[in-house]
Amino acid sequence: MYVTECPYCGQRVRKRAPKLERGAEPDAVPRRRRRSLPRLRRDEIPGIAPETRPYATIAIVVAALGTTLAWVGGLTISDLGAIVGPIGHDWWRLPAYAFVHTNAGSLFATLVATGLFGMHLERRFGSGAVLAIFLLGATAGGALTVALSVYPAIGANGGALALLTAWVVDDLLAGRRGDDRGNDLIGVTVIAAVLLLLPLADRDTSWAAGLGGAATGAIIGAMISPFRR
């Protein structure tokens, strides 16, 4: 089996195995085929796509850490955007709550998942897609929290699950198209379970935010999968 993406770092492999004509000898010289891959870009190694820096993912993680430090420094969670009750006209809270954390365990779990799947998605689709998936997933989760009156909603579980499900959906759709990337989904399932069960360990985490974020990520993943760069 020839994979087109590293299952550990997500790096894309450019070269694929040559196809042999049916009935041809294994040692036969294959017929000259038209080039299907684009020209190598600057600093690109033949066979491997260039490493890209996950700027959007880093920005999300840094923003969440900075907001948490602001809370430690004396600002209230309400000032920082946490959803602790009906929000009225404070619509800015719908994405902002995802950057506020009051529990070290939730902070670690959500930001590790955000960093891992954000990095993979950024290599596939670029920085803009990662920012959109995280913020839209968090916003949808916040909106569902408000609609169902599931308070409080604090933490990035909705945004992290949006990134995770977008990655999974893209991977599954790629497999249907014949692009088997060889990724192991067992570890992904474990991470998803941890994020979904966080509300049991941290009462400040909203299960509605997690479900809303997961559903949004799956929808966006299906929409952008054909446009993988």
pLDDT for the residue 22:
58
- Mean pLDDT over 150-165 rounds to 96
- Residues 155, 107 contacting (CB under 8 angstroms): yes
pLDDT in tens, 72-102: 888 999 999 999 999 999 999 999 999 999 9
| All structural domains of the chain with their residue ranges | 1-51, 55-227
Q: Please check the confidence at residue 197 and state whether its pLDDT lies above 70.
A: yes
- Mean pLDDT over 199-228 rounds to 94
pLDDT for the residue 35:
46
Higher pLDDT, 179 or 137: 137
Of 195, 212, 103, the closest CA to residue 150 belongs to 212
pLDDT in tens, 112-130: 999 999 999 999 999 999 9
CA distance 147 to 144: 5
Residue 207's pLDDT band (cuts 50, 70, 90):
very high
pLDDT for the residue 184:
75
CATH superfamily of 55-227: Rhomboid-like (1.20.1540.10)
CA distance 127 to 107: 22
- Mean pLDDT over 157-174 rounds to 95
SS (H, E, C) the chain: CCCCECCCCCCEECCCCCCCCCCCCCCCCCCCCCCCCCCCCCCCCCCECCCCCCHHHHHHHHHHHHHHHHHHCCCCHHHHCCECCCCCCCCCHHHHHHHCCCCHHHHHHHHHHHHHHHHHHHHHHCHHHHHHHHHHHHHHHHHHHHHHCCCCECCCHHHHHHHHHHHHHHHHHHHHCCCCCCCCHHHHHHHHHHHHHHHHHCCCCCHHHHHHHHHHHHHHHHHHHHHCC
- Mean pLDDT over 130-154 rounds to 96
Residue 12's pLDDT band (cuts 50, 70, 90):
low
**Dihedral, 166, 108, 96, 192 alpha carbons, nearest 10:** 30
- Mean pLDDT over 27-47 rounds to 50
pLDDT for the residue 4:
58
Q: Please check the confidence at residue 168 and state whether its pLDDT lies above 90.
A: yes
Give me the sign of the Cα torsion angle 59, 65, 70, 76: positive
Q: Please check the confidence at residue 40 and state whether its pLDDT lies above 90.
A: no
pLDDT for the residue 219:
97
